[in-house]
Structure 1
């Protein structure tokens, strides 16, 4: 077995799209001119995947081995190093690296919400210009707390949503300004997220997995922290005011 592609996407999101190894921070996303972004980082197993692999534990199930909690987002070089020299890279040490790195990424994102402005939002939604408008759905207000409960989201997702609400007025003002220039802009923005949302639901994803896949979608192709956070701010805005996470 191996980690699924959606699991790798979530891992990349939690890692900020960069190698988790301290002092590396290599960007691990290939931005294609065609607009198709590819995650090139590796989902490295902390506790080995196979019997002869580094840090292998026989009492683990395959599901546990490929679970995101046992995976570290690394570049190819660092993945090779931790497996070639396991004495230097113990399970405890790698788990500490994972926890610290993902926490730093989360904290940086939450702090950046306060600085989201029009330039970052423009970068985050540049793809909308090629998106056809939504043909149905609504922009009726639904309380975020209701959606959180309905989608069984954890405190982690709740914290992202709460932090993202700091930028709600800025995103709303940006969408309104864009609508003055292009009346279809709000519907195209919504359509892009709804297409991804319903596609992931069709694949069976829900709850936190679905939420994090949508966060990764909101950040695709973006490298700067400010732009990546702006992408999440847009998702949180839509989470509140339209039928993303509504059905």
Structure 2
């Protein structure tokens, strides 16, 4: 992919989805990726009636593969082992055409031994079937081979380098308008915004791709600042900052930080984007707010450089 900013965006989106999405959201992401990779060969299965999904979260027709997705927010080992056994037995009973059964999970650091043993036992007892497990890294590998058009279908329109260079104040005006500001979103003097610190990216535990995107967006910070300086509404800059500061504080209260917080704040700014130009303007606005300390935190004066 020639556009570095678009590449960073897609890599960030692919990695974040696998870490942040749980339960049904993770399953939906799995289905989106599989449809992008395999097209009509893959069929997502939705629950219907009293039998639900009949122990099948997705089906690949060319290989007669039944996929079972399990991505809990919290691991209950006994429940997990029980689910594997029940789901496989149910799939084997209700999908007689099944030649392969794949257990898809969200465990980045590996499987617990009891879980692995349960899978190996199923494999031993069913030598005529292909039994496998897919960790999150497998899905990440699948996205690496997608075309840009396919990536857009899964992750939406990316910001782009050439669009970043071409942004003007009208683009920022559109991004600000998308925030749906109202006068009640700002109270003068309600918060004292500190000065940006060069260690801020480290302190807020942002990984490589959000760092690169923020750095790219900050290149247009002076243009964004010029938009606010020349706007006839003297309160607009502070209202935008306060709105996003409130969003950030809500995330802090929920314990959401780092890459996931960055993604949710971007989604708030870019909620109404229709293409890459709007996505790029949203990133430039978010980077400006990062630099001016409306969102995320400055490291304390005595911070040693170790992530919070």
Common fold, TM-score beyond 0.5?
Answer: yes
Q: Does 1:152 align with 2:205?
A: yes
Find the counterpart in structure 1 of residue 260 from structure 2.
209
In 2, distance between residues paired with 1:147 and 1:237? Answer: 13
Find the counterpart in structure 1 of residue 277 from structure 2.
226
What SS does structure 2 have at the residue aligned with 1:57? Answer: strand
Find the counterpart in structure 1 of residue 196 from structure 2.
142
Find the counterpart in structure 1 of residue 243 from structure 2.
192
Deviation at 1:174, TM superposition (A): 0.4
Alpha-carbon distance change, 161 to 95 in structure 1, aligned in 2, over 3 angstroms: closer
Find the counterpart in structure 2 of residue 87 from structure 1.
none
Q: Which runs of 5 or more residues in structure 1 are unaligned?
A: 25-43, 73-91
Alpha-carbon distance change, 168 to 122 in structure 1, aligned in 2, over 3 angstroms: same
Q: Does 1:97 align with 2:146?
A: yes
Alpha-carbon distance change, 192 to 5 in structure 1, aligned in 2, over 3 angstroms: farther
Deviations 1:157-194 (A, max 9, x none): 1100111012111101001112xx11211111011111
Contact 1:6 1:213 in 2 (8 A): no
The aligned runs of 1:6-21 (5 Å cut-off) are 21=36
Deviations 1:69-92 (A, max 9, x none): 6769xxxxxxxxxxxxxxxxxxx7
Q: Does 1:166 align with 2:232?
A: no
Find the counterpart in structure 1 of residue 102 from structure 2.
57
What SS does structure 1 have at the residue aligned with 2:291? Answer: helix
In 2, distance between residues paired with 1:136 and 1:66? Answer: 49
Q: Does 1:177 align with 2:226?
A: no
What SS does structure 1 have at the residue aligned with 2:69? Answer: coil
What SS does structure 1 have at the residue aligned with 2:280? Answer: helix
Contact 1:128 1:189 in 2 (8 A): no
Deviation at 1:101, TM superposition (A): 2.2
Contact 2:172 2:227 in 1 (8 A): yes
What SS does structure 1 have at the residue aligned with 2:199? Answer: helix
What SS does structure 2 have at the residue aligned with 1:49? Answer: strand
In 2, distance between residues paired with 1:206 and 1:231? Answer: 20
After superposition, the CA RMSD in angstroms is: 4.2
In 1, distance between residues paired with 2:22 and 2:164? Answer: 30
What SS does structure 2 have at the residue aligned with 1:246? Answer: coil
Deviation at 1:20, TM superposition (A): 8.2
Alpha-carbon distance change, 146 to 119 in structure 1, aligned in 2, over 3 angstroms: same
- TM-score (norm. length: structure 2): 0.51
Select which of 102, 106, 112 maps to 2:163. Answer: 112
Q: Which runs of 5 or more residues in structure 2 are unaligned?
A: 1-19, 40-57, 61-66, 71-87, 109-132, 299-308
Larger radius of gyration: 2
Find the counterpart in structure 1 of residue 186 from structure 2.
133
Deviations 1:11-43 (A, max 9, x none): 7xxx9xxx9838x9xxxxxxxxxxxxxxxxxxx
Deviation at 1:49, TM superposition (A): 0.9
Find the counterpart in structure 2 of residue 41 from structure 1.
none
